[in-house]
Structure 1
Amino acid sequence: MRIGVIGVGFGTTVHIPAFISEGLDVVAVCASRKERAQEAAERFSIPNVFTDYRDLLNLENLDAVSIVSPPSLHKDMAIDAIKAGKHVICEKPFALNQDQAYMMWQQAENSDVTCMIAHEFRYASARMRTKELIDEGYIGNLHMALVNLVNGPKDGFKPRNISNRDHAEQGGGFLWALGSHYIDCLRTWFGEVSSVSGQVHTHFPERTDPANGQSLMATSDDAFTFTLAFKNGGWATMNGTNAAPFGSGGNIEIYGNGGTLVTPHQGNGFNPPPHGILFGARNGDDGLKKLEIPKRLESIYDDRDDRLGPFRLLVQEFIAGVSGGYSPRPNFYDGYKCQQILDAIRESSSTGARIRIPND
């Protein structure tokens, strides 16, 4: 499969290395700044360099694209790629709002191409095992899930140059960057969400204009909390921030009427390498014990980046989907449902109301 990559940040640290490792032919790279695209092309021996994604889409014999651009560009890029008959992997955050996400999902739904969203956290070993155990009835009926993700600079906050991720209106913020991954996991484990409440906050808004050194203010969040009520019963609450010096990392705790599951994770949201850690206990046990991660669920261990192993498993699913003519999960429908919840959290934060989520 011949694939082009649009975006060279996360695109060069995870996407391109994963594609090459899984046998895809990366034939083109695109970035708004030609020197960055050229640098990536030289690093990975990619033959074609573009600054306009539409020129990349017109490349002869191109089969697929990976969209790793800022979220404000995702809708047009994804829809244009699908119209051009290209298979698509789109990074999260999926879109700027649920209206855009719906358009992207519908375009994919009415096409013959494979479309996935890059929620690779689904493919972390401990989280895949968590899904299996929940489906097997390990915890019984869900009562509640508690999620914490707390990190921050050890030397305190110092204003940095402003960027796209500092603007909420451009899809920036800790909620969309990492909270979206957890929303996807929670939906995977417990089903559709019926209502949402939440808050977002910016503790350290100070930024610097790199052009003149003047002070600017970020509008994106660096802290959030939300509670999801599930259609099938039970709820999940998450607290997240990247503005907590000496933050302790995080934990996922799942409590049901039949048992408990606990899996720790690092400050970047990933389970400790290589395959994560999972604890559990069922009614009648003496206490929590470490649970085995079956070899069949072990992520590929890739010491270049913690995220590469799960992402390579997602790429394997993508390849299977292209071969089989379907869109594996997480697909663009999952991106749309996640975006509904993200929008609802922000709406709840601004109105103080609990927001109902429509279910198809």
Structure 2
Amino acid sequence: MASRLKIACIGAGYFARFHVEAWQRIEEVELIAICDLNKEKADQLAQTYHVPNTYTDIDQLLNQENIDVLDIITQPETHLDLCLKAAERGIHIICQKPLAPTFEMAKEIVEKINQYDIRFMVHENWRWQPWYRKIKTLLDSNAIGEKLHSIYFRMRMGDGWGEDAYLHRQPYFRSMPRLLIYETGIHFIDTFRFLAGEVDSVFANLKKLNPVITGEDSGQVIFNFNSGANAIWDANRFNESKSANARYTFGEMLIDGNGGSIRLYNDGRVTIQRLGEVETEIEYTHNDVNFAGDCVYNLQKHFIDCYIKKLPFESSGVAYLKNLEIQEAIYQSANEQKVIQINQ
């Protein structure tokens, strides 16, 4: 590349700092601007991470700065308009999840963006946590056998109990009509597909434990995969983890195959226990940097690498719609209390 890609971020809320910090470590890019309706928040974030320009108006940003990529870190209801503003100017897009307030609007975003000659990726960073990349290599090498039996993940966040639930970090969680699956479960839908392949059907029980919020904060979801494997996601944001940092791995995982088991612990340790043998720890690199093992950096580096090399993204818009289809099936299952088949 003759010059670095110029990037601007729109949105200076809680999660934006992870995006901005990660961009500053990617040598192929230059982060030139931050935009937010709240000038004070934009200025503070820019000052912290040495970003030269701030804006409060997206049109002014797009008209005045010659940017290659727009990183959208705003609320889901703004994504359609922001994506189109960028696409109409030939600007490539990386967009945070949730992609849209509804499945229909998410499909509209993808369909309309596909009419333009630009690159588009959803910022689904969970699968980029280093433990999942390591676990994927173990599964692909048949480290616990050639047949996957099951995945079990237990999540207890402890940030959603009491009258002040979510107020200190993401207060908008309190009024979201859909919470646990829409905001958190979507990560695990994508990660389970990354590890185990396509989903055949789902069954879900969802409920609200904290009466001060609007949406569901607890649930158990059963995934049945085309391969014959199964997964259980057992999660709530109300009860607490015993982990010193519940937001590192967000829980613990057990994966069983016909040759043994893989375990992920709260501190990021990954172990393998082959049948008839003792549990042993797998050596790999993971650090408590940025967010959840530096997954934001890993994803954004993937975006840049694929852009430069003209390779497909792991989380393209079209690919991500399958996650949202499964998300909708989970809500349907919980409402109707029956197994819902996923269209193949």
TM-score, with length taken from structure 1: 0.83
Cα deviation for residue 109 of structure 1 reads 4.1
> Alpha carbons of 1:19 and 1:246: their partners in 2 closer, same or farther (altered >3 Å)?
closer
User: Are 1:220 and 2:186 matched, yes or no?
Assistant: no
* Corresponding residue to 1:292 among 283, 289, 305: 283
The worse-fitting range, judged by mean Cα deviation, of 179-188 and 319-328 is 319-328
Cα deviation for residue 11 of structure 1 reads 4.5
Report the counterpart of residue 137 of structure 1 in structure 2.
142
User: Are 1:44 and 2:49 matched, yes or no?
Assistant: yes
Report the counterpart of residue 191 of structure 2 in structure 1.
185
Q: Aligned-residue CA RMSD in angstroms?
A: 2.4
Q: Give the distance between the partners of 2:322 and 2:130, measured in 1 at CA.
A: 23
User: Are 1:281 and 2:281 matched, yes or no?
Assistant: no
Higher RCO (CA-CA < 8 Å; seq separation 6+): 1
User: Are 1:119 and 2:124 matched, yes or no?
Assistant: yes
Identity %: 25
> Alpha carbons of 1:152 and 1:102: their partners in 2 closer, same or farther (altered >3 Å)?
same
Give the 3-state SS of the residue equivalent to 1:105 in structure 2: helix
Q: Give the distance between the partners of 1:113 and 1:325, measured in 2 at CA.
A: 11
How many positions carry a matched residue from both structures? 329
* Corresponding residue to 1:19 among 20, 23, 28: 23
User: Are 1:313 and 2:298 matched, yes or no?
Assistant: yes
* Corresponding residue to 1:164 among 172, 178, 190: 172
Q: Give the distance between the partners of 1:302 and 1:292, measured in 2 at CA.
A: 16
Aligned counterparts, 1:1-360, within 5 A = 1-23=5-27, 24-139=29-144, 140-152=146-158, 157-159=162-164, 163-169=171-177, 173-206=179-212, 218-246=213-241, 250-265=251-266, 272=267, 276-283=268-275, 285-293=276-284, 298=285, 301=287, 303=289, 305-307=290-292, 309-359=294-344
The CA deviation string for residues 100-152 of structure 1, in whole angstroms up to 9 with x for no partner, is: 22223334444432222222222222211111121122232122111101121
Q: Which runs of 5+ in 2 are unaligned?
A: none
Q: Which runs of 5+ in 1 are unaligned?
A: 207-217, 266-271
Give the 3-state SS of the residue equivalent to 2:24 in structure 1: helix
TM-score, with length taken from structure 2: 0.87
Give the 3-state SS of the residue equivalent to 1:152 in structure 2: coil
Cα deviation for residue 17 of structure 1 reads 0.6
The worse-fitting range, judged by mean Cα deviation, of 308-317 and 339-348 is 308-317
The CA deviation string for residues 197-238 of structure 1, in whole angstroms up to 9 with x for no partner, is: 1122221131xxxxxxxxxxx322221221111122211110
Q: Give the distance between the partners of 2:311 and 2:107, measured in 1 at CA.
A: 19
Q: Is the 8 A contact 1:2 1:62 kept in 2?
A: yes
Q: Give the distance between the partners of 1:202 and 1:238, measured in 2 at CA.
A: 16
Q: Give the distance between the partners of 2:47 and 2:283, measured in 1 at CA.
A: 42
> Alpha carbons of 1:308 and 1:10: their partners in 2 closer, same or farther (altered >3 Å)?
farther
